[in-house]
Structure 1
Amino acid sequence: MEQKHTHINKSILSNGIRIVTEKIPHVRSVSFGIWLEVGSRNENSTNNGVSHFIEHMLFKGTKKRSAFQIAESIENVGGHLNAFTSKDLTCYYAHILDEHLPLAIDVLADILQESLFNESEIKKEQEVVLEEIRASEEVPEERIHDYFFADLFRPHPLGFPTLGTEQTVKSFDQNMLLEYFHKNYTGNRIVIAAAGNLHHPEICDLIEKKFSALVKAPKLPMAKPLKSQQIKQKYIEDSLQAHVCLGTTTIEYSNKMKYPLLVLNTLLGGGMSSRLFQKVREKHGLCYNIYSYLEFFVDSGVFCIYTGTEQGKVAKSLELIIKELDNLKENSILDEELERTKSQLKGNLLLSLESTSNRMNRLAKMEIYMKKNISLDDISKGLNNVTAQEIQLQAKKLFDFERLVQSILLPVN
């Protein structure tokens, strides 16, 4: 399964910055990302949303570039510059032609080290983020996942919304932002990943010159979340239909039992051929959308089933979902379904790696969560070795009804 003609390298600078690259000589582009091990899980109830807000502020001007100049610097050469914040990571990235890679490194180094955090820009960006929060609150399918994470992890900050709340965002000021920024944006919390037509030594030289001012600092302790306990929560809000999340906490990213879980998740709710899609939608016509997903962190994970349906069909939909979970706990899956699911997973992985951006993301996450690169051959071997007995064992552990969290958003009527 391993793809040929690529080469992966890793270096560590004196200030703790880790650099991982994959040389892909047959492309003309490079995807370059700066990943920080900081997200909403590093926050508290009074500064929730600050990681995401700082991500916005780093595009609002530096000592030598205005916000417009930051945007046009990459777009003028046909590239793409953006960022995102998640529960435990923040990433600033560019996709650019290989000849313009030094420019991308210069721009990203500039915003990471020389951003101004002007008070006037903070006030403007507060309004922008408040509108972003309000927009997300108008999408019930997004709201229910926020509610689910809050129910699953409360009071741990993994349950906090990444955007924060209107109350917390309105409270942000320059001193608080700068204090959080300097505490968390340190060299040893940074992984720089790049994939494309590149040369590792040249990238390391550029990064060392541009990022040498970043200091190495002790990592701040993180509280490990507890295992979920059974909760059933209903939220009555404006919505045209009901939205349901059912799930539980699970293992961390680096756990070897991740492979049986990936197979289990895919056969249960990973696509139109999955058991839940076929039974709940195709056979009984109870919903338009139903799926399951896994999300892994450094010390925990999440398994969730989502469906959206009419309010009067919620009970029947949940009944069918629970029956399918019981079926997986009580009965071993057939070899044919097992092999088809493995093939689906391996095919999805290989297709995703046609993108340099996806390759860059994979490099970074492997370094952050595993501290090493796992080859495609090893991943393929891990999937191929999954047995029906392992899947049944994981189903029994995962679908413990005393630990399942159920969050339902119902229409006002």
Structure 2
Amino acid sequence: MSILTIKEHTLSNGIKVLYEQIPYVRSIAFKCHVSIGTKNESDSNHGMAHFLEHMLFKGTELRNSYQIANQIERYGGSFNAYTAKEETAFYFNVVDEYFPLAVEVISDMLLNSTMNEHDIEHEKKVVSEEIKGSIDAPDDIIWDYFIEQLLKPNACAKRTLGTLKSVKSFTRDQVLQFWKSNYTSDNITLSAVGNIDESSFLNTLEKSFNQIKSGSSQKIPFEIVNNKFQKYYERDIMQSHILLGNQICRYSNPDRYPLILLNNILGAGMSSRMFQNIREKYGFAYTVYSTMDYQSDHGVFFNYVATDNKHIERCIELVKNEINSFLVGKITDKEIEDAKYQIKGSILLSMENNSRRLDRILRQYLNFGQFIDMEDIVKQFLAVTKDDLVRVAQTYMNTDLFSSTIITKKAS
């Protein structure tokens, strides 16, 4: 992907548009990214970003909830949304000829949703069931438990779904206030990849989104905290769940490159150390892996194992042993070479998927304010040395500072 193929445009109201033309496909992947998420909430409206995402699908002055979904799906398109710590996004993938219709549906939602009382009360019940489902799934809720402790008192430590109590308390006035004050042109970025006719594309976006008003987005401060903890929860379950890790650098930090390579070696696939040791050698777990989550102002390193109660301490020991070996340079040349090849292949393969191309373009723009050629990103990974790996391991992976959350089977 050459950076020369990615273009940037600004609508009359200040909304940024990023797009890449690929004339040999018949589809267009599109995302409306709103830089509003859990971190923008207060205690009094905890869960509101996610709840508002739901409400925007409930109906407008022109369309009911069925028509919102059907007008894209009836032509073979896919349409969905999500809410995360730092953003809410609405995205679709459609055949190029139906792009204007799909864009009009999203702009209609963002501008003309009715937010009537009946729908709000109805959706409170729906979201409450979503929350209950998360609480009942230990391999899901453990991530919320861990982040709550690791990042508090920052707003991004809160659960994205909110709580049963907070969602129940929402009023129509609260929903309207959050919507109107946050869904403004300064918080919205539009991106698209596919068979784009430039003139028609830009005219469609201008017509659909130019009524969104401007606002003054506020930078949410992130407090660097050193919360070390060990939390245990008992549940009526057959298997215990372990999550341990700590804070690492933010997305824009160049240390991300060697850290991603280390994560690949440690636990990012079937050939990784954690998989080969804990699952293949000892048979202690079916699900075992490590992962890293990078945000604009922080990152988190996670290690997850699901195992029998009697193997909890041994699994934690095995994970820490592998990580500690990085700190003293016990990384083979083959492991480093394999990790580089895997990352390179993953990046290049992702460029064959329009939605993944779109996500990379958007994330680069939001974090760097510019676009980085994929070949240059590959070169960054290939340039990482063993000394770089040891350095970042010593900087970010001191297991003595790790925190842990464990959900165990209730004692009989």
State if a TM-score over 0.5 links the two structures.
yes
Residues of 2 paired with 1:228 and 1:101: CA distance? Answer: 47
**Deviates most, 229-238 or 298-307:** 229-238
Please tell me whether residue 273 in structure 1 is matched to residue 274 in structure 2.
no
Aligned residue for 1:246?
Answer: 244
C-alpha displacement of 1:219: 1.2
C-alpha displacement of 1:3: 6.7
**Deviates most, 155-164 or 303-312:** 155-164
Q: 2:229 aligns with which of 228, 231, 235?
A: 231
C-alpha displacement of 1:16: 2.3
Q: 1:33 aligns with which of 31, 52, 59?
A: 31
Aligned residue for 2:65?
Answer: 67
Aligned residue for 1:160?
Answer: 158
Amino acid at match of 2:183: Y
TM-score, normalised with respect to structure 2: 0.97
Residues of 2 paired with 1:109 and 1:31: CA distance? Answer: 16
Residues of 1 paired with 2:237 and 2:39: CA distance? Answer: 29
Aligned residue for 2:410?
Answer: 412
The change in CA–CA distance for 1:133 and 1:78 in structure 2 (over 3 A counts) is: same
Residues of 1 paired with 2:272 and 2:399: CA distance? Answer: 22
Aligned residue for 1:21?
Answer: 19
Amino acid at match of 2:266: L
C-alpha displacement of 1:196: 0.8
Amino acid at match of 1:306: Y
Residues of 2 paired with 1:132 and 1:200: CA distance? Answer: 40
C-alpha displacement of 1:233: 0.9
Amino acid at match of 2:197: H
Q: 1:364 aligns with which of 352, 356, 362?
A: 362
Residues of 2 paired with 1:176 and 1:217: CA distance? Answer: 18
Residues of 2 paired with 1:66 and 1:367: CA distance? Answer: 34
Aligned residue for 2:257?
Answer: 259
Aligned residue for 2:102?
Answer: 104
Aligned residue for 1:191?
Answer: 189
C-alpha displacement of 1:228: 3.2
* Contact 1:187 1:215 (8 Å CA) reproduced: yes
Aligned residue for 2:48?
Answer: 50
TM-score, normalised with respect to structure 1: 0.97
* Contact 2:149 2:227 (8 Å CA) reproduced: no
Aligned residue for 1:380?
Answer: 378
* Contact 1:21 1:200 (8 Å CA) reproduced: no
Please tell me whether residue 134 in structure 1 is matched to residue 132 in structure 2.
yes
* Contact 1:188 1:217 (8 Å CA) reproduced: yes
Structure 1 alignment gaps of length 5 or more? none
C-alpha displacement of 1:360: 1.6
Query: C-alpha deviations, 1:237-276, integer Å up to 9, x for none?
Result: 2221110111111111111111111101111111010111
RMSD of aligned residue pairs (Cα, Å): 1.4
Q: 1:93 aligns with which of 91, 94, 102?
A: 91
C-alpha displacement of 1:391: 0.7
**Helix, strand or coil at the partner of 1:345:** helix
Query: C-alpha deviations, 1:66-125, integer Å up to 9, x for none?
Result: 111111111121111111111111100111000111111111110011111111000000
The change in CA–CA distance for 1:312 and 1:332 in structure 2 (over 3 A counts) is: closer
C-alpha displacement of 1:399: 1.6
C-alpha displacement of 1:225: 3.3
C-alpha displacement of 1:327: 0.5
* Contact 2:324 2:399 (8 Å CA) reproduced: no
Written as runs of structure 1 = structure 2, the 5 A alignment for 1:329-340 is 329-340=327-338
Query: C-alpha deviations, 1:284-310, integer Å up to 9, x for none?
Result: 111111111111111111110001000
Amino acid at match of 1:340: D
Amino acid at match of 2:93: H
Please tell me whether residue 7 in structure 1 is matched to residue 5 in structure 2.
yes
**Helix, strand or coil at the partner of 1:288:** strand
Aligned residues: 411
Residues of 2 paired with 1:82 and 1:72: CA distance? Answer: 12
Written as runs of structure 1 = structure 2, the 5 A alignment for 1:196-215 is 196-215=194-213
Give the fraction of aligned pairs with identical amino acids, expressed as a percent: 36
* Contact 2:14 2:186 (8 Å CA) reproduced: yes
Amino acid at match of 2:284: L
Query: C-alpha deviations, 1:123-149, integer Å up to 9, x for none?
Result: 000111011111111211001111111
* Contact 1:237 1:411 (8 Å CA) reproduced: yes
Residues of 1 paired with 2:103 and 2:334: CA distance? Answer: 48
Aligned residue for 2:167?
Answer: 169
C-alpha displacement of 1:46: 2.3
* Contact 2:323 2:399 (8 Å CA) reproduced: no
Q: 1:398 aligns with which of 396, 399, 410?
A: 396
